[in-house]
Amino acid sequence: MEVLYASCVGVLVACGIYLILRARTFPVVLGLTMLSYAVNLFLFSSGRLTINKAAVLGSGSEYADPLPQALVLTAIVIGFAMTAFVVILAIRGRADLGNDHVDGHMVKSSKEQK
């Protein structure tokens, strides 16, 4: 399970970073979303991976650590709000700057194509 889980996180991070390095806002937003999924999974695993254990301390020799679950919940909520904000900002940027490039430059080739 650990290997599967770790490679999931790794693939998500790799995809996220690749997309963040793109020049347009939409892939960047998708990349940020993927990165935050990866981070949430990673945070979740920081309490060790267990199956079928109660999330209570002291009720048995093994337990599922409840704290990372709370942390992940907080991170999901915050990440969701931030993604919503960046989507709105990207739309505003598209309207204000006339293109969807992250650095806002006009691309000459697209002009020439017109």
Partner 1 sequence: MIQHLASLPILIPMLAGVLLLMPPCGKNLQIRRVTSVILSLVTVLVSAYLLFYINSTAPMVYAIGDWSAPFGIVLVADRLATLLVLLTSFLGAVVVLYSCAGDDKKGSFFHPLVHFLILGVNGAFLTGDVFNLFVFFEVLLIASYSLLMHSADKHSTRAALQYVILNLIGSSVFLIALGVLYGVLGTLNIADLAQKVPQLTGDDVYLAKIGGLLLIVVFALKGALLPLHLWLPNTYANAMPLVAALFAIMTKVGVYAILRIYTVIFGENAGELAHMAQPWLWGLALATIVMGAIGVLASQDFRKLIANLVIVSVGTLVALVAIQNVSATAALLYYLVHSTVICAALFLIADLIAQQRGKVADRLVAGRPVAQPFLLGICFVIAALAVVGMPPLSGFVGKIWILKSTLDSEKAMLFWPIYILASLALLVAVSRAGTSLFWDHKHKDSEAIEGSKAHPLKVTAVIALLACSPLMVVFAGSISDFMLATSEQLFDINTSINAVLQGGQ
Structure tokens at 73: 């919940």
Phi-psi region of 85 (alpha: psi -120 to 50; beta: other; left: phi over 0): alpha
Residue 39 in the binding site for partner 1 (CB under 8 A):
yes
**Rg (Cα) of the chain, in Å, rounded?**
20
CB of 102 to partner 1, least distance (A): 7
Residue 15 in the binding site for partner 1 (CB under 8 A):
no
Residues 69-108, mask of contacts with partner 1 (x by CB under 8 A): --x--xx--xx-xxx-xx--xx-xx--xx----xxx----
Classified as helix, coil or strand, 101 is strand
Helices 25-45 and 66-97 cross at an angle (nearest 10°) of 170
Site residues, partner 1 (CB under 8 A): 20, 25, 28, 32, 35-36, 38-40, 42-43, 45-48, 67-68, 71, 74-75, 78-79, 81-83, 85-86, 89-90, 92-93, 96-97, 102-104
